[in-house]
Structure formats: C-alpha cells, structure tokens
Amino acid sequence: MHFTYRKPGKDLEQGDILAKMPEIQKQLGEFHPHYAKSEDCCYFIVLTQTCDLVRRETNACKAMYISLAAVLPFSLLMEQQLSVIQRSDREKRLRYASEEHKDRMHDFLERLLNNNEPGHFYLHEDHTIGFEKSMVAYLSLSVAVKADPYYSICLDARVIGMMEIFQAKLGWLVGNLYSRVGTPDWVPDTVNQAGFESMIGAHLDQLCSWFPKRYLDKISKEEKRLKQSKKEEEKQSEDASYLMTIDDLQSLVQYLETQEKQRKEQIISRIQEKVTELDSQFTKSFGRKLTIELRNDPVFSQLVGKG
C-alpha cells in the first residue's frame, strides 16, 4: 500500500476517500448535479476535521455537514496545466510545447507529487485498493452533505483512509495556513533523487513532445507553407485538411535535428583545422577529446542551433 494510505478506522476521518456510490450520487444530484453527472469525478475526499466526525454516545457526530472535495484524474490536471503554456491551437492539436516551459512544469509536478501545491492533494495510484490511475483532489471544488442521515452512507462508500500525518497536511492545505506540515516526501523516503526525476520525466514525456523554442517559429512557417502548397495544388479555399499532421511535424523535427547535427559536425571539424594550423603540436588524442567535449556540451549545441 502507498505510504499515503492506511486502513480506515470505525468512524469517518479527514482524508477518507469515498466512492461515488448511487446513494451519494442521488444526494449530489439534488443539490450539486454537476458532480453527480461528471464522469471524471469518481471519488470524493473528506475535508471535515476528524475531531468533528467522531460519533458520540448518541451515535451522532459534532459536525452538522460533511464537507467533500471532488477527486479527478491526475491526467486532467496535467492537461489543464499544459494548456496554459501552449501558445497556439497548433501546439494543442499536435501535442507539443516549448522546452523553455518544461522546468516550470517540472517544478509544478514536483510540488504536486509532494503535496505542496496549494488547492490540490495528490493521490497516487494503488492497485491494491482499486486506484488504477493516479488522481488529484481539487480542494476548492467542495460540496457538503448533511451528516444526518448521510454519515452511514459515507461510511459504506469509504474506500481507504489516510495516514495521520497526511490528514494534517490535508487540513493545512484546506485551511490555507502559513506553516508547512512536514509529511514524508518521495525523496528520500521512498525513492532516490534519480528515481524521482525519472518518474517526473516520464510524466512530462507522456504529456506532450518538448521542442527547443527555436523550432516553434519554423514549425509555424512550415504549416503555412503546407497550407499554401495545398491551396495552389487544388485551387480551393483554405480548409482544416490543410493543417499540419503529426507525421508532418515529426518529419520536420527530424529534418531540423539532422541539419543541426550536420552543422555541428562541420563547425567541430573547422575548429580542429584552425587549432592544428595554429599549433603543430596539436595531437590526435587531444583532438578526439575536444570533439567529444564539444559534441556533449549543451551550450555549444544551443549556439549551433541558433545559427
């Protein structure tokens, strides 16, 4: 079981995850139809403090209402974040973005996975409890149901509970306090830094293709060229069929990468020639080392790409 979760107690607690059972769906359908009908919203997370949910001798809890927040797919939030940094319909249609924004997305994802992103609470996939995909609780998308008679219905809908330290973190996020609850992070509690970076990198690579900023204008110009070429060939008005396809995009990027690689090798060769002319003691061994260094130097590659 993932380190966030634990077996639930006898009473409802803050952080309990509830499935959208028919009884809950019926209650939401009356007062909150959007959540009842939404296919993305399959779970809810309890936001009410645990101390207010403890059942007393009368079998009733202190809270008159139980506050629940919608739990939506992790992929949905990532798509929302991606749409913010994509500057054109073309980028959205062909699923790519500029590499200059990748660090921003990386930082957002790191905060989210460690539950340090305001307004959201990350719930990692766990097949042992039926979470086939990772999800995110949208803390601002909260609804309330009456504790009487829905307490027992919420208990029946409960899927899993949450470790106490993460209950505290959830409470801090909900309350928007100015202090940080120190919950275990992925690093070093679960994986090493390399493993965590690999996990973030995999999420980002699945999200879209990332291209250097210098490619974006060339992609735009190529789509305009393709449109014009199609119009001239068919002598028809502009149509959506003239838009660049993913295959067109991949071919163009491959061509640009090949051009840059060839230009890079030509520059390296020229540098070697000039160094040899200036210093007759220039050795082949040093030449090989210089070539390797230049090929692997990111600054050099960036400068070549701007040429």
pTM of the full structure: 0.70
Q: Within 13 Å and on the Cβ side, how many CA atoms surround 13?
A: 20
Quick one: which of 14, 26, 89 has its CA closest to 50? Answer: 14
Per-residue pLDDT, 81: 93
Cβ contact 6:158 at 8 Å: no
Q: How far apart, in Å, are the Cα atoms of 91 and each of 11, 106, 109, 193? A: 48, 19, 20, 31
By the 10 Å C-beta count (0-12 exposed, 13-18 middle, 19+ buried), 180 is classed as exposed
> pLDDT truncated to tens, each residue of the chain (307 aa)?
889 999 998 999 999 999 988 777 777 766 667 777 778 888 999 999 998 898 887 778 888 989 899 899 999 999 999 999 998 899 999 999 999 999 999 999 999 999 999 899 999 999 998 888 999 999 988 888 888 888 888 999 999 999 999 999 999 888 763 344 556 677 777 778 888 889 899 999 999 999 988 888 889 888 888 877 776 666 555 554 668 888 889 999 998 888 888 888 888 887 877 777 666 656 666 667 777 777 777 777 776 766 5
Cβ contact 65:147 at 8 Å: yes
* Cα separation, 11 vs 5, whole angstroms: 16
Per-residue pLDDT, 284: 63
Cβ contact 183:115 at 8 Å: yes
